[in-house]
Amino acid sequence: MEWNALKRGAAVLAVALTALSGVAAADPGPAGIWRMSNGKVTVRVNFCGGQKLCATVVGLAQPIGKDGKPKIDHENPNPSLRHRRILGLQVVSGMAPAGPGRWKGYIYNADDGGTYRSEMRLSGNAMVLQGCWGPFCKKNRFIRIR
């Protein structure tokens, strides 16, 4: 009788662990690979210090510039950084939790060399990154690909 009770307890524990692992798999959180809805940029979002998030460019639809060379950060206000490749560039930094499915931090735009206050909103496999300069904001939508 004690053996049957032990087997039942083990079965209940196995079912509970399976259910919990299914919940974790259903919501992987913000970490992962995300492609902008227009397909131009792919980023890897990961944790980069406690609960803060960062994003790094891992893919470009057109990684080669008009000069036939890999695209570089030519608009950076710091001349010593203007030769960095866009691939591998960290473009989102310091995103701290700001509520359920929300983070606030900064986004770097290599197109104009500006760093802007930013907000990230996550809903399942969709993410919206918004960068703002004063009252003017621009949103970009991303879809999780991994």
Give me the pLDDT at residue 134, please: 87
Give me the pLDDT at residue 50, please: 85
Residues 92 and 104: beta-carbon distance below 8 Å = no
d(CA 64, CA 7): 61
**How many whole angstroms from its chain centre is CA 80?**
27
Q: Which amino acid is at 95?
A: M
Q: What angle do CA 95, 23, 105 make, to 5 degrees?
A: 5
d(CA 62, CA 58): 12
The predicted-structure confidence for 98-131, as pLDDT tens digits, reads as follows 999 999 999 999 999 999 999 999 999 999 999 9
Give me the pLDDT at residue 10, please: 34
The predicted-structure confidence for 53-103, as pLDDT tens digits, reads as follows 999 999 999 999 999 999 999 999 999 999 999 999 999 999 999 999 999
Per domain, the residue ranges of the chain are 1-28, 31-144
60: left (phi over 0), alpha (psi -120 to 50) or beta: beta
Give me the pLDDT at residue 49, please: 84
| Residue 49 structure tokens | 């210090």
Which residues, 6 or more positions from 97, have their beta carbon under 8 angstroms from its beta carbon? 51, 103
CA distances (Å), origin 70, targets 43, 62, 77, 83, 94? 17, 9, 19, 10, 27
Question: Domain 31-144: which CATH class?
Answer: mainly beta
